[in-house]
Structure 1
Amino acid sequence: MLWLLVLALVLLIIIWAIAAYNKFVRYQENISNAMSQISAQVESRWDALSNLMTATQNYQTYESQTLTKIIEERSSVSNQASVKDITQDDQQFNSALGVISALAEQYPDLKASNVYLQTMQSVDKYENQVRQSRMIYNDTVTRFNRSIKTFPNSLIAGPFNFNEHPYFQNTPGKKEMPQWSK
């Protein structure tokens, strides 16, 4: 009888360990999915900016060349990207956006054009979607990190190399959504 009780206890521990491991795998897949969502939104945001670049090419050769260089040099973001990769991409994006904003200030007819206004609205939309995707990512990371830190889950997380994922932090100087002149 004692032998059956020990066997049942061992089976329960094995079942719990398998369930915990599978939960960690699900959480990591959710994190990868959340990063994929960010990647898709970042790509759409760059596409909108590329469209805006096309609209501005007629106004100033230097700014156009600068934008082309920034867009060509930007790194592609995927679901395998890190928080650092996304932050670097944001810096490149904001640099390109700064060039376009300065150009729009120099050329009021560009700033008033329908193409410019519609594209800036698209950039705003994608910027908001990137922000929302980051919040979803951070929520997913919170669930995962909390799960691997709590006992007895930590007994499974450590040996199977389930490690904490980093969070997106507020970018200095970017407390508010960008507002474009309309």
Structure 2
Amino acid sequence: MKKKWLWPVIIIVVLVVIFTMSYNGFVSAEENVSQSYSQIETQLQRRVDLVPNLVSTVKGYASHEKQVLTQISDARARLAGAKSTPEKAKANDALTGALSRLLVIQERYPDLKADKQFTQLMDELAGTENRIAVSRRDYNEQVATYNKKVKRFPGTLVASLGGFHEKDYFKSSPTAKEPPKVNFGEQQ
């Protein structure tokens, strides 16, 4: 008779252990997502920091290309001020488009293309763009792993009890797939 109370206790202990292990798995997965996101932010900040040097170098050669330089500065400010993942993705796309217009302008100024500082900054920017792409891929992989844990049973029970929710992917906006528009007729 004494053993009848033992089974409910064992079952409760096993359930608590399983819940604790699953909860800790969610904590680890969420931390992996956060760590990957911080890598994106680091690379985006590096990019934001490079842009003023690039703009000032271009100003010396192409002072009448104010519109593109203004677009770059505006996009940089939006990226620096973005808070959420979707806002950062959208601001990143705007800066990418503005910088691609700058590359078109570079072709119009052979002296600019030959400038050592400009070339070095463009190389650093290209390296940063590659790091951003790798960081975005890593982040999205961590988000996919985390979101699968949140959606799968029995993880969905632990996630709802533990307050874990799906995370947003770092996506490009639909307009990022369109080539940038450059109008050589507009000069200010």
Measure how far apart 1:121 and its partner are. 1.0
Which segments of 5 or more consecutive residues in structure 1 lack a partner in the other structure? 176-182
Any idea what SS the aligned residue of 2:60 has?
coil
Aligned letter for 2:74?
I
Deviation per residue, 1:144-177 (Å, 9 max, x gap): 11112221111111233311112234554289xx
2:89–2:171 Cα contact (<8 Å) kept: no
Bigger Cα Rg: 2
Which segments of 5 or more consecutive residues in structure 2 lack a partner in the other structure? 180-188
The residue that corresponds to 2:84 in the other structure is 81
Following superposition of structure 1 onto structure 2, how do residues 48-63 of structure 1 map, counting pairs within 5 Å?
A: 48-63=50-65
2:61–2:111 Cα contact (<8 Å) kept: no
The residue that corresponds to 1:15 in the other structure is 17
Tell me, in whole angstroms, the C-alpha distance in 1 between the residues paired with 2:46 and 2:146: 28
- For the pair 1:30 / 2:32, whether they are aligned, the reply is yes
1:27–1:140 Cα contact (<8 Å) kept: yes
Calculate the TM-score normalised by the size of structure 2: 0.80
Measure how far apart 1:7 and its partner are. 0.3
Percent identity, aligned pairs only?
28
The residue that corresponds to 1:159 in the other structure is 161
Any idea what SS the aligned residue of 2:111 has?
helix
Tell me, in whole angstroms, the C-alpha distance in 2 between the residues paired with 1:170 and 1:92: 10
2:147–2:166 Cα contact (<8 Å) kept: yes
Structure with greater helix percent: 2
Calculate the TM-score normalised by the size of structure 1: 0.83
Measure how far apart 1:136 and its partner are. 0.8
The residue that corresponds to 2:108 in the other structure is 106
Distance 1:67 1:58, change over 3 A: farther
Distance 1:125 1:174, change over 3 A: farther
The residue that corresponds to 2:177 in the other structure is 173
- For the pair 1:120 / 2:122, whether they are aligned, the reply is yes
Aligned letter for 1:75?
L
2:45 pairs with one of 43, 49, 57: 43
The residue that corresponds to 1:179 in the other structure is none
Any idea what SS the aligned residue of 1:14 has?
helix
**Count of aligned pairs between the two proteins:** 173
Distance 1:130 1:115, change over 3 A: same
1:148–1:162 Cα contact (<8 Å) kept: yes
- Alignment RMSD: 2.4
1:45–1:123 Cα contact (<8 Å) kept: yes
Q: 63-72 or 110-119: which moved more?
A: 63-72
